Amino acid sequence: MAADGAPTRLAQGTRTKGGIGESTLRPDGTLKVTGEFAYASDMWHEDMLWGQILRSTVAHAEIVSIDTSEALAQAGVYAVMTYDDLPTDVRHGLEIQDTPVLAHGRVRHHGEPVAVVAADHPETARRAAAKIKVEYRELPVVTDEASATAPDAIVVHENRTDHHAAHVPHPNIVHRQPIVRGDADGAARRADVLVTGDYFFGMQDQAFLGPESGLAVPAEDGGVDLYIATQWLHADLRQIAPVLGLPEEKVRMTLSGVGGAFGGREDLSMQIHACLLALRTGKPVKIVYNRFESFFGHVHRHPARLHYEHGATRDGKLTHMKCRIVLDGGAYASSSPAVVGNAASLSAGPYVIDDVDIEALALYSNNPPCGAMRGFGAVQACFAYEAQMDKLAKELGMDPVEFRGINAMEQGTIMPTGQPVDSQAPVAELLRRVKARPMPPERQWESSEGTDVRQLPGGLSNTTHGEGVVRGVGYAVGIKNVGFSEGFDDYSTAKVRVEVVGGEPVATVHTAMAEVGQGGVTVHAQIVRTELGVGQVTIQPADTRVGSAGSTSASRQTYVTGGAVKNACELVREKILDLGRRRFGTHHPAWATAELLLEGGKVVTDGGEVLADLADVLGDEAIEVEEEWRHRPTEPFDRRTGQGNGHVQYSFAAHRAVVEVDTELGLVKVVELACAQDVGKALNPLSVLGQIQGGTVQGLGIAVMEEIVVDPETAKVKNPSFTDYLLPTILDTPTIPVDVLELADDHAPYGLRGVGEAPTLSSTPAVLAAIRDATGLALDRTPVRPEHLTGTA
């Protein structure tokens, strides 16, 4: 199993209840079901003010003037701030610092923050913001590759100095990553069939339910305490402090309750605005976005245009692949460069293809900024390459699963980047498993009581009683990297303390990991129980008093912060055993000779013999360790060839979608979405299922309904509300049977494999494939809407 053999030990001795592998319940569960769990938007402070952000009403314009006098004069208003009131002119950004905290002379996208207001009631703040007069001189908008790279294109960011600037073919290209391996043109000559396709992937919103919120409290030392919902406290801190002109130690951050994230909280939203207003007014300032503002307040998933060419021999072997992926990064860089790296390096999918010619790039445009969302670059590619696989299988007259199986990668396969896949890659097995499942019964809407429209396309809207309904089945599989790639120093920090309280050993875990709902807090307690044999574990609130935990993204937290907790526990254990040897070593020879473990609150030998109670060993001493932990290092991709060992670990999931399509109305009911995924080791099986099912449904959403629609003429968002940006309801969601494989990755703690993202990849193309199967239509874009299925687009 795991490299250090920890799971083997678990099998022996008195196991501590609630360790890894058990579906222990969330420590925050009771608070969350009673309404007591404090989300960022629930915080309240004596004398608190409400902050409101004024956002641009146009996508691209020079700001001619801003008049705040009327807003300032309104009763109840404490402060109005524009760019001119900022303490510094420092910009922020995750990778490239290109984002002004308030617009400076120019707005680059619809909804860009222009001014902030603090007032004693949110309605007062809204009214005051509405009284700020901003005069815009509109500029032409850059909205796609053609308008971005035209000879006379307006440059979205002048005078770039970032580390990609010197290497891009045009200043409106944020980053470009080619990957060339083998000889794609030569290999193409061996192909018996050649399949090309142009695909479009729409802009998806994370749509976490808890809108961006936080509370900034000014401190006596001139600093600020910020209570905030975020994915990565320390990345926020690194960006916030310089903009405020404060040293990092004067910005103290505490994670408050986070209502989902999915990538949308990796960038800053209202953090700096709240701090600015708090420091300006000397009063606590709370900012809570409403849903409308939330659509403008965070980055979205990059929309993408993808061109693919694949070849295969008559016997079903892929010969080569060429692709070009154009991602729209919008007005600011956010994590576009890393998304490009992922899209390029994972563009071939989980297949053996020796000869590839790949190019991925991200644009600067005046569209809404795009960045991290679950699946991060791999999602868009998977949608396209899986459509290609179906086309090839059809061309060859082969079963789509069989065809994929012939080309499926396995351990030892070389990626397009030249990196060998050095752990299990059960791609063919995952597909085999979803295919082997029994099919859901036909015509489930029929019963002795009549027709149940809830089980039909259109649902409660009563559009069909079976007319026009055709079933379709589709398959897809995907590959996602786990953790931060391309040479990033991806580490986490954990502080673990053990002491005796009331006669019982108690452990405390302190990390800066953002618990956004994924259940990291549950897993940390499980790891401590397994490693230290201490039943009672307290999870401290995450804050910046402990070192960085990195981001709650990239399917990495259980791997990296879980790894850090495990590592800290091991160090604590050594210290406890040292203490035990000093105190009791003379009592029993096994203290010196045996392999010693901590289980069930006792020190035991690997033979199961109890040497001492942990409480007696500790006495009144507390053992505490704070330590950073890293996964194995990665390398950057070569700028020209894309070669390099860029990724830490890969994660695989496969789906079979069964849909019923009302072919006349173009309405889709997903009947079942079966998933098989390898998770290496399920530390908490219940949470693993929750991740897989949740990720699957986010993939379903982008397949049939979710899309932020941007007007191509004005670059303005047309549907920033839950009325017109539709998320799947429980009536849109099918049963999701899940098959979990646990094939250990020897490089990872406990052999685990990051879980969260892979199911979001394959879900979308599986649904699309099923709709194609039902309708016979080509369907080269997602989401697919009724008009695309009825020839009325």
Partner 1 sequence: MDFLRPAGWEEALAAKAEHPTAVPIAGGTDVMVEINSDRRRPEYLMDLNRVGDLLEWEVGEDSVRLGASVPYTRIMENLRAELPGLALASHTVASPQIRNRGGVGGNLGTASPAGDAHPVLLAAGAEVEVESVRGKRLIPIDAFYTGVKRNALEPDELIRAVRVKKADGPQQFSKVGTRNAMVIAVCAFGLALHPGSRTVRTGIGSAAPTPIRATAAEEFLNAALDEGGFWDNGKIITPAVAKQFAVLCSAACDPIDDVRGTAGYRRHAVGVLARRTLTWTWESYRGARHTTEGAA
Partner 2 sequence: MRVNFTVNGRPQEADDVWEGESLLYVLRERLGLPGSKNACEQGECGSCTVRLDGVPVCACLVAAGQVQGREVVTVEGLADFARERAEGRATGARETGGGGTPLDRAGRWQATGHDSQAGEGTGLSPVQQAFIEAGAVQCGFCTPGLLVAADEMLERAPNPSDADIREALSGNLCRCTGYEKILDAVRLAAARRSEGV
Q: Concatenated DSSP letters for 97-142?
A: --B-SS--SEE-STT-EEEEEEESSHHHHHHHHHT-EEEEEE-PPP
Residue 259 or 350: the one with the smaller Cβ distance to partner 2 is: 259
CB 373 within 8 A of CB 264: yes
| Span of 92-100, 492-500, 652-660, 704-712 interacting with partner 1 by CB under 8 A | 704-712
Told to check if 441 binds partner 2 by CB under 8 A, we report no
State the binding partner of 161 from partner 1, partner 2, none, CB within 5 to 8 A by kind: none
SS3 672: strand
Q: Which residues on neighbouring strands pair with residue 673, listed in sequence order?
A: 657
Among partner 2, partner 1, none, residue 718 binds (CB under 5-8 Å by kind): partner 1
What's the closest the beta carbon of residue 756 comes to partner 2, in angstroms? Answer: 11
**Partner touching 690 among partner 1, partner 2, none, CB below 5 to 8 Å by kind:** partner 2
26 in contact with partner 2 (CB under 8 A): yes
Indicate the residue among 64 and 460 with the shorter CB distance to partner 1. Answer: 460
**Would you count residue 779 as binding partner 1 (CB under 8 A)?**
no
What percent of the residues of the chain are helix, what percent strand, and what percent coil, each to the nearest 5? 30, 25, 45
Provide the token pair at 756: 């969260």
**Which residues have a Cβ under 8 Å from the Cβ of 33 and sit 6 or more positions away?**
none
What does 600 interact with, of partner 2, partner 1, none (CB < 5 to 8 A by kind)? Answer: none
**Which CB, 450 or 589, lies closer to partner 1?**
450
763: closest CA among 721, 703, 690?
703
| Contact window for partner 1 (CB under 8 A) among 518-526, 565-573, 685-693, 714-722 | 714-722
Taken in order 520, 522, 524, 530, is the CA torsion positive or negative? negative
CA-to-CA dists, residue 9 to 5, 15, 604, 723, angstroms? 7, 9, 11, 54
Q: Which residue from 317, 394, 465, 630 is in contact with partner 1, where contact means CB under 8 A?
A: 465
Inter-residue contact 750 to 2 (CB < 8 Å): yes
| 339 interacts with partner 2 by CB under 8 A | no
**Least distance in Å: CB of 73 to partner 2?**
20
Which 694-723 residues touch partner 2, going by CB under 8 A?
Answer: 694-698, 721-723
- How far are the Cα atoms of 235, 413, 694, 721 from residue 726, in angstroms, in the given order? 31, 40, 16, 8
- Name the residue nearer to partner 1 (CB basis): 126 or 437: 126
19-42 b/e with 16+ CB inside 10 Å = b?
Answer: bbbbebebbbeeeeeeeeeebbbb
- Minimum distance, C-beta of residue 149 to partner 1, in the bound complex (Å): 28
What residue has token string 């005046």? 366
Which residue, 619, 620, 611, is CA-closest to 584? 611
Interface with partner 2 includes 18 (CB under 8 A)? Answer: no
Q: Which does 665 bind (CB under 5 to 8 A by kind): partner 2, partner 1, none?
A: partner 1
Q: Which does 36 bind (CB under 5 to 8 A by kind): partner 2, partner 1, none?
A: partner 2
The answer to whether 729 contacts partner 1 (rule: CB under 8 A) is yes
Q: Which stretch binds partner 1 (CB under 8 A): 38-46, 454-462, 557-565, 773-781?
A: 454-462
Q: Which is nearer to partner 1, 85 or 711 (CB)?
A: 711
Please name the amino acid found at residue 644: G
Q: Quick check: 284 and 44 in contact, CB under 8 A?
A: no
Contacting range for partner 1; rule: CB under 8 A; set: 234-242, 590-598, 762-770, 780-788: 780-788
Q: Which is nearer to partner 1, 647 or 785 (CB)?
A: 785
Give how many residues touch partner 2 by CB under 8 A: 62
Report the 10 Å Cβ neighbour count for 55.
Answer: 20
Within 223-262, which residues bind partner 2 (CB under 8 A)?
257-262
In this structure, the strands spanning 224-228 and 251-255 are parallel
Question: Residue 603: CB partners within 8 Å, gap ≥ 6?
Answer: 576, 577, 580, 596, 597, 610, 611, 612, 613, 614, 617
Judged by CB under 8 A, does residue 726 bind partner 1? yes
What residue 211 binds from partner 2, partner 1, none (CB within 5 to 8 A, per partner kind)? partner 2
Residue 212 CA to residue 244 CA, distance in Å, equals 20
Q: Does 209 bind partner 1 (CB under 8 A)?
A: no
Choose from partner 1, partner 2, none: what does 686 bind? Cβ within 5-8 Å by kind.
Answer: partner 2
**Segment (H or E) for 314:** none
Which among 321-329, 562-570, 684-692, 785-793 is the span making contact with partner 1, rule CB under 8 A? 785-793
Residue 290 binds partner 2 (CB under 8 A): yes
Most distant CA pair in the chain, distance? 85
Which of 4, 15, 25, 354 binds partner 2 (CB under 8 A)? It is 25
* Distant-in-sequence, close-in-space partners of 381: CB < 8 Å, separation ≥ 6: 306, 323, 325, 343, 346, 347, 349
719 binds, among partner 2, partner 1, none (CB under 5 to 8 A by kind): partner 1
Nearer of residues 200 and 292 to partner 2, judged by Cβ: 292
How far apart are the C-alpha atoms of 212 and 272, rounded to whole Å? 12
Task: Report if residue 111 touches partner 1, rule: CB under 8 A.
Answer: no
DSSP 538-581: EEPPPBTTS-----S-TT-HHHHHHHHHHHHHHHHHHHHHHHHH
Long-range interactions of 145-148: CB distance < 8 A, separation 24+ = 145/305, 145/326, 145/363, 147/365, 148/172, 148/173, 148/363, 148/364, 148/365
CB atoms within 10 A of CB 664: 15
Which one of the spans 131-139, 264-272, 577-585, 664-672 is the region binding partner 1 (CB under 8 A)?
Answer: 664-672
Two structure tokens written together for 178: 């080619």
3 state DSSP class of 584: helix
Select from 62, 467, 489, 574 the one that contacts partner 1 (CB under 8 A): 467
Sign of the C-alpha dihedral, residues 293, 296, 298, 304? Answer: positive
Per-residue contact track with partner 2, 519 to 548, x per CB under 8 A? x-----------------------------
In angstroms, give the least distance from the CB of 94 to partner 2: 22
Q: Would you say 492 and 626 are in contact if contact means Cβ atoms under 8 Å apart?
A: no
Buried/exposed 751-769: b ≥16 CB within 10 Å, e otherwise: bbbbbbbbbbbbbbbbbbb
Q: Which helix (H) or strand (E) holds 389?
A: helix 378-396
313 binds partner 1 (CB under 8 A): no
Taking CB under 8 A as the rule, does residue 728 contact partner 1? yes
369 binds, among partner 2, partner 1, none (CB under 5 to 8 A by kind): none
Determine if 454 is a binding residue for partner 1 (CB under 8 A).
Answer: yes
| Integer Cα distance of 354 and 348 in angstroms | 10
Question: Strand pairing partners for 50?
Answer: 119, 286
**194 belongs to the binding site for partner 2 (CB under 8 A):** no
Q: Which one of residues 454, 545, 632, 718 is an interface residue with partner 2 (CB under 8 A)?
A: 454
> Using the rule CB under 8 A, is 32 a contact of partner 2?
yes
Is 689 a residue that touches partner 2 (CB under 8 A)? yes
Residue 578 as a binder of partner 1 (CB under 8 A): the answer is no
Q: Which residue from 15, 91, 291, 471 is in contact with partner 2, where contact means CB under 8 A?
A: 291
Compose the 734-773 pattern: x for residues touching partner 1 by CB under 8 A, - for all others: ----------------------------------------
> Which residues of this protein are in contact with partner 2, per CB under 8 A?
23, 25-26, 28-30, 32-39, 41-42, 44, 121, 123, 206-211, 257-262, 288, 290-291, 452, 454-455, 460, 516-519, 686-687, 689-690, 693-698, 721-723, 727, 729-731, 733, 735-736
> Which residues of this protein are in contact with partner 1, per CB under 8 A?
126, 130, 290, 292, 449-454, 457-465, 467-468, 664-667, 669, 704-705, 709, 718-719, 721, 723-724, 726, 728-732, 785-787, 790, 792-793
